Chain A
Amino acid sequence: MKLFLKVWKQDGPENEGRFESHVLDGVSEDSSFLEMLDQLNEQLLNEGKEPIAFDHDCREGICGTCSLNINGFAHGPENSTTTCQLHMRKFEDGDTITIEPFRAKAFPVVKDLVVNRSAFDKIIQAGGFITVRTGSAPDGNALPVPKKDADLAMDAAQCIGCGACVASCKNASAMLFTSAKAGHLNMLPQGQAEKDSRVLNMVAAMDEAGFGNCRNYGECSAACPKDISLDYIAKLNRDYAKAKVKKVFS
């Protein structure tokens, strides 16, 4: 395959970015999108040019490190797929592909296509955990969890924190991420004790980081590689209202 690539190039967080055009020939349609970028970087190195920086790690769709806005779609046009699991057979020979970083004020560009997603870590640090004695694993079934709750909690826990929800949202809102992380713990018995403080603190951290507001477009869920449902946003809204009311009257 021969591809015409339009890639975002930015030297550092303070620099102005720009698009650079490259032609890449001999791309196998069996290669993944990241392998295609590896091939491009090899070509750039051979030409004595600087390679393009992009994030990647597990390359099997479970770590949430890869990002990229591909032709306007976070993680590319395929549904329920991360960039590393996107294959070049989904494109046509001769295609022009525009590759941009995830765009959000809360995700500043580090270099080229790499963005700093530590705003998500701040949200997790604010309440995306359970304060328990760690140590040996508890006995199985020591704490019964209804199957339905376990399934719903697992659906939310699937979130890999990649930030596609923020990148696809017209308002760069982090509601899907925050709601999945808060919802996951709020649905389990272990998470009940800190349920209220969790939602209040996580939402505060989310606002603090400069993410936008949810306008119920549903773009986040459509872009999510793990298909996290908008139900978790509704649940976060509900849990937050309850926590706020309890706080006011406590």
Chain B
Amino acid sequence: MQSSLFKKYLMALTGIVLVGFVFVHMAGNLQVLLGQEAINAYAHALQNLPAPILWGSRLFLLVCVLIHAITAYQLIKENRAARPRSNEVEVTKRAGWSSLRMGLTGSLMLAFIVFHLLHFTIRTIFPEYNDLKTTVGSPDGSEIHDVYNMILAGFRVDAIAIFYVICMFLLCRHLAHGVSSMFQTLGLRSESWRSRLDLFASAYGWIIFFGFSIIPVLVMAQKYGLVTCLESSCGSSCSANL
């Protein structure tokens, strides 16, 4: 039987990995703004990392997500058992919206991760994304996967773009409590640092939100003729109905 604190460390330590991952992922995504060549070259380089590194990282992230989710489930189950009957009058003095709904936002993030992998990584939701090929961004002039136009096509679907933005907002709220909470759980927080760490966590959440959301928002804005900053050069391969 693991102690309650051991489970909390697992949450915090896997949380740190995932918090770091979303930042790197966001920074990578922002290369869409630099144009087709930058993002395609970046994606191609990532996909062609030596297999042990690529699959090792993927496995490591998957394990972190699983540990984070399973431990959260155990903790929530124990917490419910610890207070079988709630108060007739339930009041909250200090806890914020995000901290009280970590289970909800976390579960939705888990569902989002599954959808996102099927959408852009494994590409089973729209298998036609696999046909998007280009030489732009290719290191040796051979045909590579056209990530740039896949993203453009993906977010041209209104419902999907809105879904992604909503999910990023939920992630922002999850991080607002999670990032400051992981310092507390690891014992690296004091009263004098509390407000600064809370501010950092909140800022981190919003940076992640805006960093990820800007791409679907720009694609949508372009679709409706509000901006023209994203150059689409996929020709016939990305038809309007994609």
Contact = CB atoms under 8 A, between A and B. Distances in A.
B78 interface: yes
A61 interface: no
A206 B99 contact: no
Interface string A205-243: 011001111111111011100000111011111111100
Contacts of B7: 213
A71 B190 contact: no
Contacts of B226: none
B187 A238 contact: yes
A172 interface: yes
A52 B86 CA distance: 21
Interface string A63-76: 00000010111000
A244 B10 CA distance: 14
B190 A234 contact: yes
A172 B90 contact: no
A239 B187 contact: yes
Nearest to B93: A222
A111 interface: no
B9 interface: yes
B186 A216 contact: no
Interface residues of B, number: 42
A148 B94 CA distance: 28
Interface in A104-141: 104-106
Contact of B79 (A171, A218, A231): A171
B82 A219 contact: no
Nearest to A200: B3
Q: Categorize the interface residue count of chain A.
A: 35 or more
Contact of A103 (B1, B9, B85, B99): B85
A212 B78 contact: yes
Given A217-B99, A231-B190, A19 B88 contact: yes
Contacts of A6: 88
A219 B93 contact: yes
Shortest Cβ-Cβ A-B pairs, 9 listed: A238-B187, A212-B82, A72-B89, A72-B91, A171-B79, A217-B95, A237-B187, A222-B93, A172-B83
Interface of B: 1, 3-9, 75, 78-79, 81-95, 99-100, 102, 177, 180-181, 183-191, 194
8 contacts: A106-B82, A171-B82, A212-B81, A213-B79, A216-B181, A217-B94, A222-B93, A237-B8
